[in-house]
Amino acid sequence: ASPARRKLILTDGVFSMDGDLAPLPQIVAAAERHDALVLVDDAHGFGVLGPDGAGTLAYFGIDSPRVLQMGTLGKAAGVHGAFVAGPDAAIRWLAQRARSYVFATATPPMLAAAVRASLQLMRDEPDRRARVVALGARLRDGLARTGASRVGHWLPSASAVHALVLGDNAVAMATMRALWDRGLWVPAIRPPTVPAGTARLRVSLTAAHTDAQVDRLVDALAAVLPCARAAA
């Protein structure tokens, strides 16, 4: 509906508080129909989803000259900084016009070398990404077996982010504190970061986590969730 000559659709690839994926095929199709560009913030998809960990766009098999992909190097890549990738003309324009580039100091060679090493690991060791998926399934299956999942509900996720929605702020905070007392750090996310009535625990899994650690979290949640609900 916009009358603007240039249109830009912005979206996350993986929504960081829910763990769900943006419907990128439909978004890119809409951009094609309305002559718009698409910018995907893939901070939580890059390194985890898609072939070689290339991110959410690769996960959906999208290759379009209308799309720019932005991602952080401080999560799955394990270093620092960020990147933007896209058509050559767009990248050249950003390098000349984006305020963050004007008079900016170049990326240190040491950082570039670390990023190259991370990219090599993503390509050569896909078992790391498979490990993240397997741990997510283990977490959800474990809570389903204990019955603790009846206290809240998991939002659908194919990513490393898993959100257990508890609803009430007090319940979420009480659960977080009880887990902390057991040596587990699982942050409670509350409004206004998420909509009112959807306070949740946000679990971020990595390939470095072990089965035993996930099982420990499952057992702890099974023990503290009913108590936290009753106390609230």
Strand bridging mode 188-189 / 161-167? unpaired
Rama region for 167: left / alpha / beta (φ>0; ψ in -120 to 50; rest): left
- Three-state secondary structure of 110-135: HHHHHHHHHHHHHHHCCHHHHHHHHH
Write down the catalytic residue from 64, 75, 149, 209.
75
- Rounded to an integer, what distance in angstroms lies between the CA atom of residue 13 and that of residue 17? 12
Q: CA dist 144 to 5, 9, 154, 218, 219, Å?
A: 51, 38, 10, 9, 11
Measured in whole angstroms, how far is the alpha carbon of residue 187 from the centre of its chain?
15
209 included as an active-site residue: no
16 included as an active-site residue: yes
Write down the catalytic residue from 2, 44, 80, 149.
44
Look up residue 224 and give its two tokens. Answer: 């503290």
Write down the catalytic residue from 2, 16, 64, 159.
16
Look up residue 170 and give its two tokens. Answer: 């007090």
Active site residues: 16, 44, 75
